[in-house]
């Protein structure tokens, strides 16, 4: 073997020293990045306590806010500043800057059209890093929800979960029972009941008529709230530090799921999602808790991600043209959800709200069998396969359902499929 020359050895040593220096520099950069991110997140609890509905908190500079008058742009260069969401046209948070130790964070608490009696958190929208959201809602469409009026049923009457031609019964209200009402539906025939912050509806003709009742606002199909329809952008060029990647997180109350229009497409959110522009023509959405249903009827469950293909409309805004099929979230996407939930839990602690945990796997869904249930009806109810219900619960044993039996429901929302080799009207015994 030919011996290495002295010059070659020197070059090898220099290369190894350079690699070691670069590795050390990268490690120091990651450490500094982590410190900046942790410092920024710690300020959420310091500066966003007592966050009122329909307000924006700027937890960490730099953040810009555009108001209804587009000529007016306000820069929030210090934390703890707030603004009303009602007058905002856009909110933009700054990119990660290691030298300046800056990483913008803005948190919006949207009160939606929830009643004044609802004391829990509304819809939380969090922007971190180089991110922007634009309010697509005309302020004229936003009803002003005031304090409720007290009335009572003229006779025992039924409260419903929804108004309209096919309402769903909720509970029964006794004669002279106090009912708090704060709005009408589009028809004017139904009043919204908001006792203890819970939402129900009662027919107007069945309650005592009040003098000020005609002044209540209308909550209908055309009414909205600030940022219910929004367009968003995140910088597709990620910073060197993964912890400081830009994203928009949206969290909804567990008991009040909502419809939100994102980049021109409706999505029904129940839980926590993060959105990120992974390419100038692609928007990633990951469900970290609960589920999302797209306008196309596609369910995206906890621990899954989809990609929205973006196209440009005539006004040059990026709009989702279609969603891809759902795939399991990657390790990086799951880590992003953990960071988002940790930040939102910090906000929850500061405001006395419930904290949440996220899991990679969807939680087990359990159905309690009741009289009248069949495997066919249960499969239809949860839009899943009868065969999979059998395999998950009963194996090869004879199919006998008992009232009160707990059945694990595998893959809810994956699509109904019958099963021809078993009796779909299995015996139900008390």
Q: What is the pLDDT of residues 183-241, one digit of tens each?
A: 999 999 999 999 988 899 999 999 999 888 999 999 987 788 989 999 999 988 877 77
What kind and span of H or E run contains 53?
A: none
Structure tokens at 199: 């939402």
Which pLDDT score is estimated for 21? 47
> Could you tell me the pTM of the whole model?
0.76
Residues 45 and 135 in one domain: yes
In angstroms, the CA 297 to CA 283 distance is 18
Helices (H) and strands (E) in the chain, counts: 4, 27
- pLDDT tens digit at each of 430 positions of the chain: 455 566 666 666 666 665 554 444 445 566 778 787 787 788 888 888 999 998 888 876 555 666 554 444 555 555 557 888 887 888 888 888 777 767 888 899 998 888 999 888 999 999 998 899 999 888 888 888 999 999 999 999 999 988 988 888 888 999 989 999 999 999 999 999 999 888 999 999 999 998 889 999 999 877 889 899 999 999 888 777 778 889 999 999 877 788 899 998 999 998 999 999 988 889 999 999 988 998 777 889 889 999 999 887 666 578 888 888 899 999 999 999 999 999 999 999 999 998 888 877 766 678 888 888 888 888 888 888 888 888 777 655 555 677 777 788 877 777 787 754 444 344 444 3
In angstroms, the CA 134 to CA 233 distance is 9
Q: What is the DSSP letter of 170?
A: E
Neighbouring CB atoms inside 10 A of 131's CB total: 26
Residues 321 and 410 in one domain: no
- The runs of H, that is alpha helices, within 185-239 are none
Residues 136 and 161 in one domain: no
> How far is CA 422 from each of CA 19, 66, 132, 250, 375, rounded to the nearest angstrom?
66, 62, 54, 43, 9
Q: What is the CA radius of gyration of the chain?
A: 27
Residues 271 and 295 in one domain: yes
Residues 322 and 244 in one domain: yes
End residue of a domain, out of 209, 244, 260 = 209
Choose among 131, 60, 57, 129: nearest CA to 97: 129
**CATH number of the structural domain spanning residue 281:** 2.60.120.1440
Three-point CA angle 91, 94, 97, nearest 5° = 175
Q: What is the DSSP letter of 394?
A: T
Strand pairing report for 258-262 and 282-294: unpaired
Q: What is the pLDDT of residues 400-417, one digit of tens each?
A: 677 777 788 877 777 787
In a domain, 78, yes or no: yes
In angstroms, the CA 178 to CA 193 distance is 10
In angstroms, the CA 368 to CA 407 distance is 6
Residues 257 and 340 in one domain: yes
Structure tokens at 9: 């050895």
In total, the chain counts a number of residues equal to 430
Residues 95 and 237 in one domain: yes
What kind and span of H or E run contains 97?
A: none
**297 lies in which domain range?**
26-141+224-351
End residue of a domain, out of 186, 209, 232 = 209
DSSP secondary structure, 326-340, as one string: -EEPPHHHHHHHHHH
In a domain, 359, yes or no: no
End residue of a domain, out of 351, 375, 408 = 351
Rounded to a whole number, what is the distance in angstroms from the first to the last CA of the chain? Answer: 87
In angstroms, the CA 95 to CA 37 distance is 12
Residues 165 and 272 in one domain: no
In a domain, 2, yes or no: no
Residues 336 and 393 in one domain: no
Residues 327 and 254 in one domain: yes
In angstroms, the CA 282 to CA 263 distance is 11
As for how many domains the chain has, the answer is 3
> How far is CA 408 from each of CA 121, 271, 300, 366, 369, rounded to the nearest angstrom?
31, 21, 19, 5, 11
């Amino acid at each position: 073997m030919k011996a290495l020359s002295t010059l070659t050895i020197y070059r090898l040593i220099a290369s190894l020293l350079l690699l070691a220096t670069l590795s050390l520099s990268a490690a120091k950069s990651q450490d500094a990045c982590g410190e900046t991110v942790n410092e920024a997140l710690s300020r959420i609890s310091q500066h966003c306590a007592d966050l009122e509905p329909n307000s924006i908190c700027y937890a960490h500079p730099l953040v810009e806010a555009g108001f209804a008058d587009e000529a007016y742009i306000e820069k929030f260069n210090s934390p703890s500043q707030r603004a009303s969401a009602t007058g905002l046209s856009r909110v933009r948070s700054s990119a990660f800057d290691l030298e300046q130790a800056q990483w913008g964070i803005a948190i919006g608490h949207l009160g939606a059209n929830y009643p004044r009696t609802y004391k829990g958190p509304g819809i939380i929208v969090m922007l971190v890093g180089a991110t922007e959201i634009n309010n697509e809602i005309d302020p004229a469409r936003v009803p002003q929800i005031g304090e409720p009026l007290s009335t009572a049923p003229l006779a025992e009457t039924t409260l419903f979960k929804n108004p309209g031609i096919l309402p769903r019964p909720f509970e029964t209200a006794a004669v002279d029972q106090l009912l708090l009402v704060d709005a009408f539906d589009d028809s004017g025939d139904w009043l919204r009941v908001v006792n203890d912050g819970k939402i129900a509806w009662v027919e107007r003709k069945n309650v005592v008529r009040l003098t000020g009742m005609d002044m209540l606002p209308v909550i209908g199909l055309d009414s909205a709230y600030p940022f219910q329809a929004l367009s968003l952008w995140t910088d597709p060029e990620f910073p060197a530090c993964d912890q400081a990647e830009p994203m928009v997180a949206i969290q909804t109350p567990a008991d009040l799921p909502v419809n939100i229009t994102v980049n021109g497409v409706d999505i029904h959110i129940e839980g926590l999602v993060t959105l990120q522009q992974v390419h100038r023509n692609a928007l990633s959405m990951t469900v970290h808790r609960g589920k999302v249903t797209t306008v196309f009827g596609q369910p995206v469950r906890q621990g899954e991600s989809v990609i929205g293909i973006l196209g440009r409309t005539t006004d040059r805004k990026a709009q989702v043209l279609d969603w891809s099929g759902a795939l399991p979230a990657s390790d990086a996407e799951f880590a992003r959800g953990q960071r988002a939930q940790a930040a939102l839990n910090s906000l929850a602690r500061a405001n006395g709200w419930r904290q949440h945990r996220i899991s990679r796997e969807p939680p087990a869904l359990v159905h309690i069998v009741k009289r009248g249930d069949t495997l066919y009806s249960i499969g239809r109810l949860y839009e899943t396969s009868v065969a999979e219900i059998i395999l998950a619960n009963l194996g090869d044993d004879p199919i006998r359902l008992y009232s009160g039996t707990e059945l694990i429901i595998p893959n809810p929302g994956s699509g109904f499929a019958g099963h021809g080799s078993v009796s779909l009207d299995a015996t139900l015994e008390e």
